[in-house]
Amino acid sequence: MLLAKLKQKVKGDLVKVLSLTAIANLIKIGINLVTTKVVAVLIGPGGVALVGQFTNLITILTTTSTGGITNGTVRYVSEHKGNNESYNAYISASFSITLFFSFLSTIVLLLFAKSICLLLFSDLTYLSVIYVTAFTLFLYSFNSLLLSIINGKKLYNKYIFINLISSFTGFIFTLILVYFFRVYGALLALATYQSVVILITIRVIRRYHLFSIKDIRISFSKKSWIALFAYSLMAITGLIWPLINIVIRSALITEVSVDTAGVWEGMTRVSGFVLAIMGTAITTYFLPRFSEISDKTELQKEVLTGMKLVLTATFVITLLLYIFKSTIIQILFTDSFAAMKDIFLLQLSGDFFWVAKMILTVILVAKAMTKHYIILEVVFGLFYLILSVVFISVGLELKSVPLAHLIYNFLYFAVMIFVYRKMILKNKLFT
């Protein structure tokens, strides 16, 4: 009887999160549809490729400026939200780490601004965007910390609402700046809009009394810092992915053409719709949920329920995207992106396995199984990079990276099934 009630509650919470994230992401997709179309029309495939390069830099800074502790904050807030002393210790330690690393990231960005600009864009035309990014970095980092606390407290509706506001703000910034300044405007929008959202986040926190921001102080609690730094190691490992994408995009530009790189970037934006919906649902629900589970049977039921619901939804979404691929290209892009039609099946198939393996890898993050996570991410990251470069060099051109994406995600998922059965379930963290 108790087990049945627990199972029903788990399904209810998961369906609620999936429903909320689905609605939120449908709105975000609508916003992104217009944004993508405007960007594609005004700056073309070449401009889209440059925006992709800068997006990867923003991803790197997102991690370095927070010390990579975002998931750790979610975990420990979820575990200790009922104990004020421990809760305050962890959110204060999170703030202190964020403050330190955002300052460090800003200094590094300012010192190496010219080198970074040359690496990304091959000239100094957009150097001022790098400087703007440096000076607004802390605002973005602090906003990320506040969102992690909200997520850890399982305030799903407020968490998703703030993310929606973030998307809408990005849409307004992009629309205005791209119209007036083309490529420069698109880059400037990416550099600034996230920082503005912190005003909305603080307003929501105070309006609904989610928690007291005054509880967040500078702290040097050794226990909290050590616990959170385990997540820093995992997050730093995650930096290989935007770096890998920069290398792959550069290879496409050099070996094939900048337009081909732009078409692939466009495909990853379509792919991003799937990953946004399912990825947000997984991190929003499963990360705090897996963090609080200590019973092996309960974990198995949660994973099984998640696999059924999440993968069914993923299959339906990817199938619809594939069926309507020609229409999607016409709506979102221009005739310059027509070649994208040939890589939909490869990319979306890879996305399906990406979602499947993420459900299992988030357990490693939730339980701070740092060594396992780092080894898997590094090995498969390098495998994906090498496979992509090899496929590009042998002349597969546009199909090279999506094919590598499919192979890498399928193999990663297969390995994660083994890790889940042989290592996670046998871990002493579970009874």
Q: Which of 206-220, 299-313, 386-400 has the highest mean pLDDT?
A: 386-400
The answer, yes or no, to whether residue 425 has pLDDT greater than 60, is yes
Domain layout of the chain by residue ranges:
2-424
Task: Kindly write down the DSSP assignment for every residue of 12-74, as one continuous string.
Answer: HHHHHHHHHHHHHHHHHHHHHHHHHHHHHHHHHHHHHHHHHHHHHHHHHHHHHTTTT-HHHHH
Q: How confident is the model at residue 123 (pLDDT cuts 50, 70, 90)?
A: confident
Quick one: tokens of 401?
């990276």
What's the whole-number mean pLDDT along residues 234-245? 85
Q: Cα–Cα distances in Å, from 400 out to 248, 256, 271, 349?
A: 10, 11, 16, 14
Q: How confident is the model at residue 1 (pLDDT cuts 50, 70, 90)?
A: very low
Q: Which amino acid is at 345?
A: L
Q: Average per-residue pLDDT in the chain? A: 87
Q: How confident is the model at residue 5 (pLDDT cuts 50, 70, 90)?
A: very low
The answer, yes or no, to whether residue 103 has pLDDT greater than 90, is yes
Q: Could you give the CA distance from residue 156 to residue 162 in angstroms, rounded to a whole number?
A: 10
What's residue 11's pLDDT?
52
Name the CA radius of gyration of the chain, rounded. Answer: 21
Lowest mean pLDDT: which of 104-113, 155-164, 200-209?
A: 155-164
Give 20 or 175, the one with higher predicted confidence: 175
Percent of the chain with pLDDT over 90: 46
Quick one: tokens of 264?
């692939």
Range 415-422, long-range pairs (CB < 8 A, 24+ positions):
415/376, 415/380, 416/357, 416/360, 416/361, 416/376, 417/360, 419/360, 419/364, 419/372, 419/376, 420/303, 420/360, 420/363
Q: Could you give the CA distance from residue 188 to residue 185 in angstroms, rounded to a whole number?
A: 5
- Are 411 and 275 in contact by the 8 Å Cβ rule? The answer is no
Task: Kindly write down the DSSP assignment for every residue of 218-280, as one continuous string.
Answer: ----HHHHHHHHHHHHHHHHHTHHHHHHHHHHHHHHHHT-HHHHHHHHHHHHHHHHHHHHHHH
Q: HSE-up of 182 (CA within 13 Å, CB side)?
A: 10
Length of the chain counted residue by residue: 431
What's residue 110's pLDDT?
96
pTM > 0.85: yes or no: no
- Are 411 and 387 in contact by the 8 Å Cβ rule? The answer is no
Q: What is the pLDDT of residues 391-400, one digit of tens each?
A: 999 999 999 9
The answer, yes or no, to whether residue 269 has pLDDT greater than 60, is yes
Q: How confident is the model at residue 44 (pLDDT cuts 50, 70, 90)?
A: confident
Q: What is the pLDDT of residues 315-345, one digit of tens each?
A: 999 999 999 999 999 988 988 999 999 999 9
Q: What are phi and psi of 92, to 5 degrees?
A: -70, -40
Q: How confident is the model at residue 427 (pLDDT cuts 50, 70, 90)?
A: low
Could you report how far apart the first and last alpha carbons of the chain are, in Å?
21
What's residue 21's pLDDT?
63
Lowest mean pLDDT: which of 89-93, 329-333, 350-354, 419-423?
A: 419-423
What's the whole-number mean pLDDT along residues 3-9? 48
The answer, yes or no, to whether residue 4 has pLDDT greater than 60, is no
Q: How confident is the model at residue 292 (pLDDT cuts 50, 70, 90)?
A: confident
Residue for token pair 């027509």: 338
Q: Which amino acid is at 318?
A: T
What's residue 6's pLDDT?
45
Q: Could you give the CA distance from residue 228 to residue 148 in angstroms, rounded to a whole number?
A: 13
Cα-to-chain-centroid distance, residue 378: 17
Q: Could you give the CA distance from residue 48 to residue 59 in angstroms, rounded to a whole number?
A: 16
Q: What is the pLDDT of residues 8-18, one digit of tens each?
A: 544 556 666 66
What are the residues whose beta carbons fall under 8 Å from the beta carbon of 166, sequence distance 6 or more?
Answer: 193, 194, 197, 200
Percent of the chain with pLDDT over 70: 92
Q: Return the exposure string of 188-221: e unless at least 16 CB atoms fall within 10 Å of the residue's CB, then b.
A: bbbbbbbbbbbebbeebbeeeebbeeeebeebeb
